[in-house]
Amino acid sequence: MESLRQSQYVSSDLEPVRSCHYRTVSGLDFTHSAMGGRMIQVVDANDDSRVKSAGLIDLSLLPRVGYRGKGVESFLSSQGIAVPNKPNRAAISPDGELVLRLSLTEFWVLGSLKDLGRSVMELPRQHTQTPASCYPLFCEDSHACFVLTGEHIANVMAKLCAVNLREDAFPVGHIAQTSVARTSCIVVRHQVEGVPCFMLLSDATAGEYMLGILLDALTEYQGGLCGTACLI
């Protein structure tokens, strides 16, 4: 990651992808990175305790893809991906992908950390490669992706979002498309190894802003950034 930070050029073993906020993340103290610098694997020795209490993981560069159109549901089924039966619900595929249904006709598939999104990378990105009425979306580039983890996440989000995201009102598998800190955001509740999580997808170009807001909100609970290794 040091090389990525300093060099003008891209070294040959790294894929030349960077999020709009990668410098804010890479400015923090961490030791390892995963997927050619795409993600932070470990931040420090406190990762595990932090992730259970109030953690934040940046998955902006974990592959994902979305599709919209009348033909998407059957297309995804043909790819062996089961979809939630109603809008604003999420399901987890056997490979660990999170499948979001955002409307009757819009679906996003978020790559799994288990395979670092490799199976999602296989899915087509061009509308010329998909059946009729099945248009790939651009969520890999248009959105940043953060995961809030731990027992305090509902309190953290209560400072940023007017929708009731506490577990009794917003159980695992529910999606809220709403405003978080005055920025449009998709909030998904799920759970990894018993740890409650919110997946947050918001405008990529406001990624640095959102990162700052989330870290500020986590301070009250001594929370902060964690590495992806915590979720694998």
Partner 1 sequence: MNNPAPVFRDRLPEPMGLMLERQKTVEFIFEGERITGIKGDTLGSALLANQQWVWSRSFKYHRPRGPLTLAGHDANSLVQLPNEPNALADRVPAIDGLDVTGQNVNGSVKKDKDAVLNHFGRFMPVGFYYRAFYKPKGVWDWWEKQIRVKAGLGIADLKFKPEYYDKAFLHHDLVVVGSGPAGMMAALKAADAGADVLLLEEHTLLGGSLAYSEFSDCNNPEQLRQELMAKVRQHANITVMTEAVCNAWFTDNWLPVLQGKRLYKVRAKQCIMVTGAYEQHVVFRGNDIPGVIFSSAVMRLMKLYAVKPGERAAVLTGNEDGYLTALMLNRQGIQLCAVIDMRQASELSHTEKNLVDQLHQKGVQVRFGQTVYEAKGSQRLEFIEVRAITSPGEVSASLETIPCDLLCMSAGYMPAYQLICQAGGQLSYDDQRAAFSLRNLPDNLYIAGSVNGIHRLSAVMKDGERAAIEALNALELSDEAVPDVFCDQKVNFHWPIFKHPKGKDFVDFDEDLQVKDIVNATRMGYRDIQLVKRFSTVGMGPSQGRHSALPTARLVAKATQRTVSETGVTTARPPLTPEKLAYMAGRGFDPYRLTSMHYRHLELGAKMIPAGLWMRPAFYPKEGQRLTGSAASPLLLQARNIRNACIENESLHVRTKVGLIDVSTLGGIELRGPDAAELMNRIYTFGFLKQPVGKTRYAVLTNEQGVVIDDGVACRFDEDHFYVTATTTGVDNVYRLMTFWNTQWQLDVDITNVSSAYAAVNLAGPDSRKVLEGLTDLDLSREGFPYLACREGFLNVPGCEHKIPARFLRVGFVGELGYELHVPSRYGEVLWDILMAAGQPFDIKPFGVETQRLLRLEKGHIIIGQDTDGMSHPSEVSLGWAVSKKKPYFNGCRAVDIVMKRPQTRKLVGFRLSAEYLVQNQKPEEGHIVLSDTGSDSSITGNVTSCEYSPTANAIIGMAYVGIEQSEEGGQFPIRVDGGSVVMASVVSLPFYDKEQTRQEA
Partner 2 sequence: MKVMTCPLNGPRNINEFVFGGEVTPLPDLQAPDQAWAEHTFYSYNGTGVVREWWFHSASGYWFVAERDRTTDQIIKTYDPSELAADIRTAMLDVDRKMFGVERKTEEVAP
> Which positions lie near partner 2, rule CB under 8 A?
87-88, 102-103, 162-163, 176-179, 184-186
Residue 82 partner contact from partner 2, partner 1, none using kind-dependent CB cut-offs of 5 to 8 Å: none
Distance CA 5, CA 27 (A): 9
CB of 205 to partner 1, least distance (A): 4
Please list every residue from 174 through 193 that binds partner 1, using CB under 8 A: 181-183
Contact 59/228 with Cβ under 8 angstroms?
yes
CB of 92 to partner 1, least distance (A): 25
Pick from 50, 101, 143, 189: which binds partner 1 (CB under 8 A)? 143
Q: For residues 37 and 47, which CB has a smaller minimum distance to partner 1 in the complex? A: 37
Contact 35/14 with Cβ under 8 angstroms?
no
CB of 114 to partner 2, least distance (A): 29
Pick from 2, 6, 8, 45: which binds partner 1 (CB under 8 A)? 8
DSSP 82-135: ---SSTTEEEE-TTS-EEEE-SSSEEEEEPPTTTTTHHHHTS--SGGGS-TT-E
183-192 and 224-225: which strand pairing?
unpaired
Q: Does 221 bind partner 1 (CB under 8 A)?
A: no
Within the chain, where are the H helices? 2-6, 22-26, 47-53, 72-78, 118-121, 139-142, 153-158, 207-219
Q: For residues 210 and 230, which CB has a smaller minimum distance to partner 2 in the complex? A: 210
Distance CA 180, CA 211 (A): 12
Binding site for partner 1 (CB under 8 A): 8-21, 23, 61, 68-69, 127-128, 133, 135, 137-143, 155, 158-164, 166, 168-169, 181-183, 203-209, 213, 216
